[in-house]
A and B are shown apart, each in its own frame.
Chain A
């Protein structure tokens, strides 16, 4: 539970206006998606991190 290697993905990760997505120019939408995905990956890694077991009561 090497899953920490997923944290490389945000670094490994659009420069145009259209199409607009959710009301945002494509570049800005891409930036938002990048940040949400980073947070999601961090959440997955945190949940699978064996060092965090037992710390939920903190």
Chain B
């Protein structure tokens, strides 16, 4: 057993201990399990939201994108930054509505906003479909990191299995509390590893940051600017705006919002998190260094650029620390994802079938859903093929289709009722699905369209159609909604 492997196992054991210990002294209820009884302060919310940013993507995808696509990778920190700016306006409103109406999941939020159980089911379904690829990516990423960092002593499948078991055990025992406690260790580790590598590697190989970029400019000059077509300026702008709107609608991030103890907690985090996100740039420095130092990695192998450079540069004990940090970057986001997914399914489906179920029954069902979600993701890890790649491409596009329904709801507008919201969401989802399967672009309809318009993210187009359909259907069905509300009084909902 090499020293790298021992260190990785040590990190796995500490994560498991912290995850289980998190629930000591707490009486577990559904509220406590799902959203920490809405009691998390600024630090835990900071760590949990940052935890959704610093995932295995930072290790593999961040450096891999810089390696394969150059400056197009900058879209990641930029859309996250704009999401925080947007969150200052939007998220406190969501929190206040959730607090007043005792909402603990995303499907429940939409269900109560529009007084529509059908809309809750649609949102629960879309949320789960969007979540599974994320969980699979994290588990696969975990497998790759641990396998590479252990010099192949553990296979990727074995590493993914160990990770899935650890995360399932501590989520079933501690719920979101387990995520919060392991997030502390994870963020300390990721900060140290990414910043250290991002500075050390350019200085070690090139003598500094600017000499590193000059070396990249010499061998791959296109890497340092956005391309004229494809990953172009219009692609960049449409993608960062679209993803900024979608960021807080991902079920796992939405759950973190609901676990805050006050709107002020969320606002404080909105101020500090953009600066924290800048640290992703250090992962890009490693990817850019690898363009010169580890040339020739093709396609998905570009994601291995960081690990190849690390194993080439450092002793096994340090590679073990990098592997341990990589393990933690998978465990924390996966734990939040399966918690939010399970609560979403419980409130979106089980509570509709059994509205009078006890808190204990709901907690048990939530834990069963935790196991079912991780098992589904694990099957995709073992068997995943093109279906998963398609799901991954469209998961952000899918979740952003909830944006119009949420935005109109803030204004209690006659332009969006439950029928319009559902019709708009389903139309938008169909466009995203169609695009993911056929790689459809605007140029297929308008052959002479300039590339600046053709490069616009198709999710953006889907949202515009979503709004148009939603408004038309709402205006046509407002009288039906009024009659329904008069004949059977809706559940009492306290608005903004």
The answer to whether A35 touches B267, judged by C-beta atoms less than 8 angstroms apart, is: no
Bound-state Cα–Cα, A58 to B274, Å: 22
Q: Could you tell me the distance in whole angstroms from the C-beta of A39 to the nearest C-beta in chain B? A: 4
* Given A17-B224, A23-B210, A58-B264, A38 and B88 contact (CB-CB distance below 8 Å): no
User: DSSP class of B's interface residues: helix, strand, loop or mixed?
Assistant: helix
Closest residue to B208 on the A side, CB-wise? Answer: A23
Residues on A with C-beta less than 8 A from B88 are 4, 7, 42, 45-46
Please tell me if the beta carbons of A36 and B210 are within 8 angstroms of each other in the complex.
no
Cβ contact within 8 Å between B274 and A55: no
* Bound-complex Cα distance A32 to B77 (A): 9
- In the complex, the chain A residue whose C-beta lies closest to that of B271 is A42
Distance in angstroms from B125 CB to nearest chain A CB is: 31
Contact A28:B271 (CB < 8 A) given known A4-B89, A58-B265: no
Determine, out of B8-16, B78-86, B383-391, the stretch whose residues face the partner at the interface.
Answer: B78-86
Q: Which residues of B contact A32 (CB under 8 A)?
A: 278, 281
Quick one: which of A1-55 are within 8 Å of B by CB? Answer: 4, 7, 10-11, 15-17, 20, 23-25, 27-28, 31-32, 34-36, 38-39, 41-43, 45-46, 49, 51-52, 55
Known: A17-B217, A55-B264. A31 touches B270 (CB 8 A): no
Cα distance A20–B42 in the bound complex, in angstroms? 37
Nearest CB on B from A24, distance (A): 7
Q: At the interface, is chain A mostly helix, strand, loop or mixed?
A: helix
Q: Please give the distance in Å from B137's CB to the nearest CB on chain A.
A: 24
Which listed residue, B77, B226, B264, B271, touches A15 by the CB 8 Å rule? B226
- Contact B225–A15 (Cβ < 8 Å): yes
Most chain-B Cβ atoms within 10 A of its Cβ — which of A17, A25, A42? A42
Nearest neighbor of A49 in chain B, beta-carbon distance: B267
Chain A minimum-CB-distance residue to B216: A25
- A23 and B210 CA atoms in complex are apart in Å by 4
In this complex, the member of A31, A41, A55 whose beta carbon has the largest number of chain B beta carbons within 10 angstroms is: A31
Minimum distance in angstroms from A34 CB to a CB of chain B: 7
A45 (CB) vs chain B CBs: closest residue: B88
Closest to B227 in A: A15
- CB pair B82–A27 under 8 Å, yes or no, is no
In the docked arrangement, what's the CA distance between A7 and B209, Å? 32
Contact flag A52-B267 (CB < 8 Å), given A4-B89, A23-B209: yes
Q: Is B360 an interface residue (CB 8 A)?
A: no
Cβ B267 vs Cβ A10 within 8 A = no
Asked if B264 and A35 make an inter-chain contact with CB atoms under 8 angstroms apart, the answer reads no
Q: State A8–B263 Cα separation when bound (angstroms).
A: 20
> Measured between C-beta atoms, what is the minimum distance from B99 to chain A in Å?
15
Contact A20 B210 (CB under 8 A): yes
B3-24, CB < 8 A from A: none
Task: List residues of B (404-436) whose CB comes within 8 Å of A's CBs.
Answer: none
Report B's interface with A, CB cutoff 8 A. Answer: 41-42, 71, 74, 77-78, 81-82, 84-86, 88-89, 92, 208-210, 213, 217, 221, 224-226, 233, 241, 261-265, 267-268, 270-272, 274-275, 277-278, 281
Q: Which residues of A pack against B, CB within 8 Å?
A: 4, 7, 10-11, 15-17, 20, 23-25, 27-28, 31-32, 34-36, 38-39, 41-43, 45-46, 49, 51-52, 55, 58
| A-B CB proximity, top 9 nearest | A55-B264, A23-B210, A39-B274, A23-B209, A42-B271, A25-B224, A35-B81, A17-B224, A31-B74
A-B contact pairs, 6 of them (CB 8 A): A7-B86, A11-B241, A17-B217, A23-B210, A39-B274, A52-B267
